Structure 1
Amino acid sequence: MLQNSDLFLNAVEKDSLDLAFQSSGIDQCVCGNIFGPRIRRYYLIHFVLDGFGVLQIEEKKYPVKPGQAFLIPAGVNAAYQADFRHPWKYCWIGYQGTQAGYYTSLLFGDGFVTDIQDVTLYEKMIMKFLAFTDRRIPDGARFTPEDFPLTFFSEAKTASGHLKLNGLLKEMFSSLVAEHHKDQEDISSAPYPKQIKAYIDRHYNEHMQIQDIADYLHLNPHYITAVFKQKYFKTPKQYLTELRIEKAKIYLVDTDYSLQVIANAVGLENPFSFSRLFKSVTGYSPSEYKKRFPNWFS
C-alpha cells in the first residue's frame, strides 16, 4: 500500500478552506478485507481499478465494480469490504473544506457510486500525489504489490508541499466535474434551494441572518424558508444551526480553543449564547461534550 497525507495544516484549519487535501493512496486488498464501520470527518472517494467489493453506508449496501468510484461522505458511518473471490484494487483521495460537499454533489448527486470513463486517469493523478511526497516512488510509476511489497507512508509538512497537493486536488476535481458534464451547474443558475444551501455553507461562520440570504438572492425571506423546507425538509435556520453545531463539535474535540473563539468561528457573538444553543441541540454543555466524546472523528 502507498499512502500520504498533508500535515501542514490541522483538520480545523483545513475545514476553513474551500477545498483541502487530506490524504491519498492506492492498494491491492486481500480477500474479504474490510475497513470500518467508521465515521470520518473528511470525504473519501475510491476509484476501483480492478476487482469487486461492497460499500456499506449506515445499514444499506452498494456493490461496486471496476470502472466505478464510490463515496464515503464526511460524518457518515461507513464500511467497505473487498470481494472474497476477486478483491478490489483501488486508489483513493480524501478531502474536506467548505465547498467539499457541493463539489462532491456534482459528481455523485444524492448517490454513493458513480461510473468513471477512465479510472486509470485518476490512478495516474493519485500516483502524482504520492510521488510528490515520497522520493522512493519514481515519476510515472505504476503500483503493483510486487514492486511495492511494503507499506509506504509519506507526509507533506511544508507550505510549498501543502500548496502543491491542493493544486493537484483541484486539478483532479476539474477533470471529474468536466467528465460528469456539470460545468453548466454554476451555483448562480442552480435551483433556489441549492443556492440557499451553498450560501449557508459559505457564510455559517459569519453573523448571518435569513434576511442576508434574501438580500443576496433578491427574494422574500418567507419564500426562501418555504422552498428550502420543501427540498430539504428543514428550514434554513434549522440547517444553519445544525451546521454550526457540527462544526463546533469538531473544534471542541480537536482543539483547546476557548468558547469565545469557537463561538466566533461558527458565527455566534458570545460564548453564553453558543453554550445555550449547543446544549439545546445536543443535550450536553460544550465542556460535557468535550469530556464525553474525546476526538471520535478520524
Structure 2
Amino acid sequence: MAKKIKDPGVGKSSNQYAKRFINPDGSFNIKHVNRSVSLSESYNYLISISWTRFFLWVILGYTLINSFFAIIYTFLGISQITEPTGDVFKDFLNAFFFSAQTITTVGYGAMAPKGLLFGIISSFEALIGLLSFSFITGLLYGRFSRPRANIRFSSTMVLRAHNENDCIMFRLMSRNANVMIRPHIEATLILSQKNEDKKYINNFYNLKLERNSITYLPTTWTIVHPINESSPLKDFDREELKKINGEVLILVSYYDESFAQEVHQVHSYVLKNLEHDQRFIPAFYYDDEGYTILDHDNLDKTYSDKTT
C-alpha cells in the first residue's frame, strides 16, 4: 500500500485549475508579487539567462551608455571634440564614436577632448567604462564557473507493460560528452485531489523506482516506476490516469568532474501527458569497429508497442 509523505516544499493547498509546479525548463512555476527587488539580484539574473539574452543586454547597455554621453557631447558643442559637419545626426555619430573610444580606453587619436569641462566628462566616462567592463568580465567568469547540471530529459513519459506490470518510464542523458558519476534520482508524485470538505489539497507520494542510482552514466538511463501494489497509482486505470491532476517531480544529483562537486537538476512530467503503449527507440548502438555510438536525436523518439 502506498504511503503518503510529508510536503517536499511545494505546499499542500491546491486548486482545480492549479498548473504544474515545475516548468519544462526546470524552473518553478511561481509568480512573485509585491516582492522587493535589490540590485544584487541582477548578478544572479545575468549569469542564469541564455547566452543570447546575455549578449543582447551587453549590447543594449553599451549602446545606451554611449548614446547618453554622445548626446551630452553634441549638446555642449561637438567643436570641443572635432570639426562640426553642420549635420546634427553626423555630429551625433562622431560624438558616439568618440564616446566608444573613451569608454573602451582605445583612443585612436583622431578625436580628443578640448577644454576642462570635456576633459572632466570624458574622464568620468572612462571610469564608467573600466567599472562596466570589470563587471562584464566577472559575469563571464561567473557564467563559465557556475556549477550547473547538464541533463537532458526525454520530452515524453510513457506507460507500457513491463515485467507483468504497467510501468511509467522516461529517460535521461548528459547533454555533453561528460560522464555522469554516481547519478541518483528521486521521484515524488503530487496528486491534487478533493478532501472531505470538497477542497483541493495536494497529496504527496514517493515513487519507488526499479533503480534510483547507478555508478556512472555515459549513455542513457531509462527510469522505471512499476505500478504494483506499493504504487500510489495502482487504484487508477489507464483512462483515469489521463484525467487526474498529477505531476511527477524529479530531482537528479550526480558528481560532475568539470566542477569537481555534486550538481542537481529538477524536472517534472504531468500525468495527463502520458503516452500509452509506447517504447523508446534505442539511443546508442555499436559501429563496425566496436565503438559505442550515442545518437542524441533518439532520446525522445518512441514507437508503438503494438507493432512488436
Q: Normalization by structure 2: what TM-score?
A: 0.21
More strand by share: 2
More helix by share: 1
Q: Normalization by structure 1: what TM-score?
A: 0.22
